[in-house]
Each structure stands twice: as structure tokens, then as C-alpha cells.
A and B are shown apart, each in its own frame.
Chain A
């Protein structure tokens, strides 16, 4: 079955540590996205990538980094510079950015930093 996987589902870290969230898709989609979801707020875009070896900052990229070395994979690193990293992180992919193509989401990773 095609889909998007994110691991782990729950992640706990101490303040000051970097942590990498994985995202893998086997849908053969070109575009991939990372969002952050906080209670009472809409999803906010962290980074997106339209093609391998290329990615752009979203609205809240500070304190985060990504790589896109393979079409299937788009890992997100939450660095110690991110001031409020505790959140629900969602990875998504789509065929492209335009047209009637919806974004497909992975199950999410809930990160707690104490």
C-alpha cells in the first residue's frame, strides 16, 4: 500500500538536544512538506521541497533544518535553536504544488521537549 510514514509517533527530548524526525513516502510524489500543529492554531508550514536536492523555507523555518537527498525521504531536524519545539509535527506530500492535487499526510510525530 502506498502512503507516508513518520516515526516515531511520540518523541521525548531534553532541552538543548537536536532531534531528527523521519518522513518517508512511496507515492512517487515530487513535493513534500513539513508542518507544525499547535492547539487552537492552523497548520503552519516549516519547510517544503518540490524536487530532490532543493527545498524552501516556509513561514516558521527558524530553528529547523531539512534535507532532500532522495525523492522518498524528507527528514526534519529540530535544533536547540527552536525556542518552543513541543508540538505535533506533520509531514505531507503531493504530486505537485498546483492543480487539484491534495496533500497526503503522514500519521504525525508528537514531540515533547522538557
Chain B
């Protein structure tokens, strides 16, 4: 079956750096997405990786290793507004997104 694994919850301190991991086993691979979702709201797009390596976008970076079925989202200079759930999703061979359950990130002052 298809599976996306992420930690359920993480806690970090304002101003620090946090890395959220995602491992996947899917039938085919056509890209990996990271989304941010605040409680009760819609997910919003953060990043897209289809080739191995690091994609940097401001305070957020995303890394992909296709051979290891692994990605991480790196958040720097954490702010209180970064408290949210972070969703990892893989596009499979049918071009459908398979979603992880999300990682709830709690930022403490």
C-alpha cells in the first residue's frame, strides 16, 4: 500500500530552527509537496520538490532524496505565526496526491 509518515507533533522555540521529516512509500513518484495548515483553515502551498536536493524559499527550505523516499522541511528563525500543521504529500504514478497525516508544530516563546 501507499504510505506517508510524519511525526505527529513537534515543539520548538521562537527564533530557533526546526526540521520536519517525511518518509514515503508510494506507487511511483511525480513530485513532493509541503503545505502549511493553520487550525480550521485551508492548507496553503509551501514548496515542491521533484529532483533530489534542497529548494530554498526565504525562511523555509525543503529537501528531497528519492532513493531514500525521504524529504524534510526546514523552518528557520521561527515565529509564533509558524505554529500550524505541516502536511507532506506525494504525487503518485496516477498523478494523485497521497497525503501524510501532518505534523503539528508548537512554537514556544
Contacts and interface: CB of A to CB of B under 8 A. Distances in A.
A103 B43 CA distance: 9
Contacts, number: 47
Interface residues of B, number: 24
A102 interface: yes
Contact of A102 (B33, B95, B101, B102): B33
Interface stretch (B44-52, B60-68, B73-81): B44-52
A104 B89 CA distance: 14
Interface stretch (A11-19, A38-46, A60-68, A79-87): A38-46
A41 B101 contact: yes
A10 to B, nearest CB: 10
A98 B31 CA distance: 9
B21 to A, nearest CB: 15
Contact of A98 (B30, B41, B42): B30
Given A90-B43, A100-B31, A45 B48 contact: no
Contacts of B105: none
Interface residues of A, number: 20
Chain A interface secondary structure, helix, strand, loop or mixed? loop
Nearest to A50: B95
Interface in A28-63: 40-45, 48, 58
A97 B42 contact: no
Contact of B48 (A44, A97, A102): A102
7 contacts: A42-B87, A43-B99, A45-B96, A98-B91, A105-B43, A106-B42, A107-B42
Given A43-B89, A100-B31, A108-B42, 11 more contacts: A42-B100, A43-B97, A43-B99, A44-B99, A58-B96, A97-B96, A98-B95, A102-B33, A102-B45, A104-B45, A106-B42
